[in-house]
């Protein structure tokens, strides 16, 4: 599990890093919102833990803005704001859970694990970006309800991209995922599959962007009427 912790309290940050690393979780810490904005693009976190009172702004406003580009990644707000109105505002802004300081680390861990279970279960059932739907139970990808003709490797690559959209998916993650499904491929093969997918997605108003040297991300084509489904 890759966690992005946005927290400016050095004691809380240090203690959580130590605890989570002992549990085998990878942790990236940002003390400021501007740094979090830079990091979250390439990190592809599985979960965000977000404080609301940061040195350079309000985490609630940051969350509202970030949710416009990423509606799927679970977010747990960890804050000293303890009023009912604060909880309501946090959830309406896009938080999946809300925990008030001071807190029990055991409860925090349990809440995080619950969010991840729900996230994985949701992604396993289906994923959608704009007009594009990935339906693993049916083994099908459709665009406006029209099935796309994909071979098994293209189907798996597109599935990984749409499940994490619009976050970056490292090339190594794509290779490892195909290997787990007994679909052995070389580095250059991923580029071939991405090239094929780009052609097959031309009419779906989504595109695959390349972050050279890092990986790929699936995003909506810019347009005045487009938005996440």
pLDDT in tens, 47-99: 999 999 999 999 999 999 988 877 778 999 999 999 999 999 999 999 999 99
What are the boundaries of each domain within the chain? 2-124, 126-220
pLDDT recorded at residue 228: 33
Residue numbers in the chain where pLDDT is lower than 70 = 120-126, 180-187, 222-229
Q: Judging by beta carbons within 10 Å of its beta carbon (0-12, 13-18, 19+), is residue 106 exposed, middle or buried?
A: exposed
8 A C-beta contact, residue 6 and residue 33: yes
Beta-bridge mates of residue 165: none
Q: Which residue shows structure tokens 């029990």?
A: 104
Task: Give the Cα separation of 24 and 91 in Å (integer).
Answer: 28
Residue 184's pLDDT is 57
d(CA 137, CA 124): 8
Report pLDDT for 224.
Answer: 41
Helix (H, G, I), strand (E, B) or coil at 154: helix
Quick one: CA dihedral 94, 34, 13, 39, positive or negative?
positive
For 114, residues 6+ apart whose C-beta sits below 8 A from its C-beta are 97
8-state DSSP, 96: S
Residue with tokens 């977000």: 50
Bridge partners, 47 (sequence order): 3
Is the CATH code 3.40.50.620 the one for domain 2-124? Answer: no
- Name the token pair of 187: 């580095």
Architecture of the domain spanning 126-220: Orthogonal Bundle (1.10)
Confidence (pTM): 0.60
């Amino acid at each position: 599990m890759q966690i992005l912790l946005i927290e400016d309290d050095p004691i809380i940050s240090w203690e959580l890093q130590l605890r989570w690393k002992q549990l085998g979780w990878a942790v990236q810490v940002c003390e400021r919102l501007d740094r979090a904005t830079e990091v979250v693009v390439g990190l592809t976190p599985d979960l965000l833990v977000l404080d609301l009172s940061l040195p350079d702004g309000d985490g609630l406003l940051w969350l509202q803005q970030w949710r416009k580009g990423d509606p799927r990644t679970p977010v747990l707000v960890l804050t000293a704001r303890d009023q009912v109105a604060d909880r309501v505002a946090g959830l309406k802004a896009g938080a999946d859970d809300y925990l008030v300081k001071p807190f029990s680390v055991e409860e925090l861990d349990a809440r995080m694990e619950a969010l991840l279970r729900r996230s994985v279960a949701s992604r396993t059932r289906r994923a959608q970006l704009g007009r594009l739907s990935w339906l693993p139970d049916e083994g099908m990808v459709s665009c406006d309800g029209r099935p796309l003709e994909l071979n098994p490797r293209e189907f798996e690559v597109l599935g990984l991209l749409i499940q994490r959209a619009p976050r970056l998916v490292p090339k190594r993650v794509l290779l490892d995922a195909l290997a787990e499904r007994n679909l052995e491929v070389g580095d250059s093969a991923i580029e071939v599959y991405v090239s094929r997918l780009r052609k097959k997605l031309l009419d779906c108003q989504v595109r695959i962007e390349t972050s050279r040297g890092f990986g790929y991300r699936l995003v909506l084509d810019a347009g005045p009427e487009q938005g996440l489904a």
